[in-house]
Amino acid sequence: MTLSIPQRSSIDRFGVDWRGRTVLVVGLGKSGLAACRLLRELGAHVRVTDSHDSEALRASAMGLREAGVERVELGAHSPALLDGCDAVILSPGIPDAAPPVYWARRAGLTILGEVELAFRFCAAPIVAVTGTNGKSSVVTLIQRLLEAAGRASVACGNLGIPCSGILPSLPAQTIAVIEVSSFQLLWCDEFRPMIAVLLNLGVNHLDRHHDRASYIAAKMRLFQRQTPQDYALLNGQDPLVAGLSGQLRAQVVWFGRPTEDRPGLKLNPATCRLLPANLQAVLQVGRLLGVPDPLSAQVIREFRGLEHRLESVATIRGVRVINDSKSTTPESLLYALERCAGRLVPIIGGRDKGCDFGALAGPLMEERIRGIVLTGESRPRLRALVNGHAPVRDCATLEEAVDEALRLAHPGDTVLFSPACASFDMFRNFEERGRAFKQLVQRQVGR
């Protein structure tokens, strides 16, 4: 992979010239690669470190060296790589306890996230969306809504397209719709969206955030640089979110309940009954951007969802099979259970992120639960929660889980793969997990 290096202005929106600066990029995933490319285009001296080593990473490292990246380190982190550095750029997956973060702090170096770096070279207005659940679908819908209205727009960020590869090249008339995770927000200092959307606040990533308060504080960084000329969209159904509104300087716009927003932004009770809160957020963003309600309603109505989000895969012997691999939290499983009617056989489990599974006990004990299939590292905790009403099956592999779920299900039932846990015990990410699930289901169809 050879990276071409076009010329661009090396001075960011705050007057900092990055040409000639020495920068260490930590993490060589999609975001790290995009940050390396941007920094080389700016004329910076770039170094890279990643604690992992694999054939794919070695291929990426070769391309980076061909593009002029000075030093690439795989399989470990060396403090010597920070010698002479002016700044450190962190990929989203890098925890704040990682050695390069400690060394950079001790040396007093500037530490930025990849999103923050991209923002400093972005001329386009930004709509940023965060929340525990529903971010990717909302970002995709907002971008499609703008597209339908004939407005230039792109979707990027945590849904798979790194900001560093998109934002610095956008003209001022294009709207950037960004999915931003709590990990990305941790290292955003100056990031300022024109419209900032907080969909909901559950409990997530307690393996990275010390407690729920830290997780919420990370989410609230989305609003920290907004001014009274900007907009903050908040979920009025979430008491915690509503309670945080008094801390914001931006103009607050509500969704999730009938509101007393100014004319043109009021949501009436019928709209709140018909549309889930996340879709109300899409409608409100459209209004702020001048998209007529009828067009927004049409785009929402025609949206068929994203891959791995309540995705219908097949019907096998009268049993509907749904792939909801994007479900990595208890809240996302609860949402999936609410959206699926009739008798269910959920497949749940994966890498335990320290979430509280207590809220699942009631819904998983309902009469409509035909059986429960457990898989992944979290099986012991989940089994203690769900033993009792329905048959519970422990499965060591996803293939066993699919087979067992289909054995438990009756014609007319639904097998719901909604793990409520991370995928990292068996897979690299939820996409790989979802694709593996769908392949296993298709094998069953073939039989």
Range of the domain at 97: 22-114
Does a structural domain hold residue 11? no
Within this chain, do residues 37 and 91 fall inside the same structural domain, yes or no?
A: yes
- Cα(92)–Cα(158) distance, integer angstroms: 9
State how far the alpha carbon of 14 is from the alpha carbons of 25, 126, 169, 347, in Å: 21, 17, 17, 49
Q: Which regions of the chain are under pLDDT 70?
A: 1-7, 203-211
Tell me: the pLDDT tens digits for 281-298?
999 999 999 999 999 999
Within this chain, do residues 76 and 222 fall inside the same structural domain, yes or no?
A: no
Within this chain, do residues 61 and 106 fall inside the same structural domain, yes or no?
A: yes
Residues 6+ apart with CB under 8 A from 390: 364, 365, 369, 370, 371, 372
Within this chain, do residues 317 and 273 fall inside the same structural domain, yes or no?
A: no
Within this chain, do residues 132 and 270 fall inside the same structural domain, yes or no?
A: yes
- Cα(248)–Cα(252) distance, integer angstroms: 8
Q: Count Cα atoms within 13 angstroms, Cβ side, for 387.
A: 6
Let me know: does 343 contact 412? Beta carbons within 8 Å.
Answer: yes
Does a structural domain hold residue 385? yes
Tell me: the pLDDT tens digits for 329-340?
888 899 899 889
Within this chain, do residues 298 and 375 fall inside the same structural domain, yes or no?
A: no
Within this chain, do residues 254 and 141 fall inside the same structural domain, yes or no?
A: yes
Does a structural domain hold residue 12? no
User: Which of 234, 267, 302 finishes a domain?
Assistant: 302
User: Which of 114, 131, 166 finishes a domain?
Assistant: 114
Within this chain, do residues 277 and 166 fall inside the same structural domain, yes or no?
A: yes
Q: Any idea what the CATH number is for the domain that residue 44 is in?
A: 3.40.50.720
Element (H, E) at 385: helix 379-386
Q: How many domains does the chain have?
A: 3
pLDDT score at 218: 87
Q: Any idea what the CATH number is for the domain that residue 197 is in?
A: 3.40.1190.10
Within this chain, do residues 132 and 221 fall inside the same structural domain, yes or no?
A: yes
Element (H, E) at 111: strand 110-113
Within this chain, do residues 194 and 289 fall inside the same structural domain, yes or no?
A: yes
Within this chain, do residues 51 and 188 fall inside the same structural domain, yes or no?
A: no
Does a structural domain hold residue 2? no
Q: What's the token pair of residue 378?
A: 């979290």
Q: What's the token pair of residue 352?
A: 């335990």
pTM listed for this prediction: 0.80
pLDDT score at 404: 96
User: Which of 257, 274, 302 finishes a domain?
Assistant: 302
Q: Any idea what the CATH number is for the domain that residue 340 is in?
A: 3.90.190.20
Within this chain, do residues 132 and 99 fall inside the same structural domain, yes or no?
A: no
- Cα(169)–Cα(344) distance, integer angstroms: 47
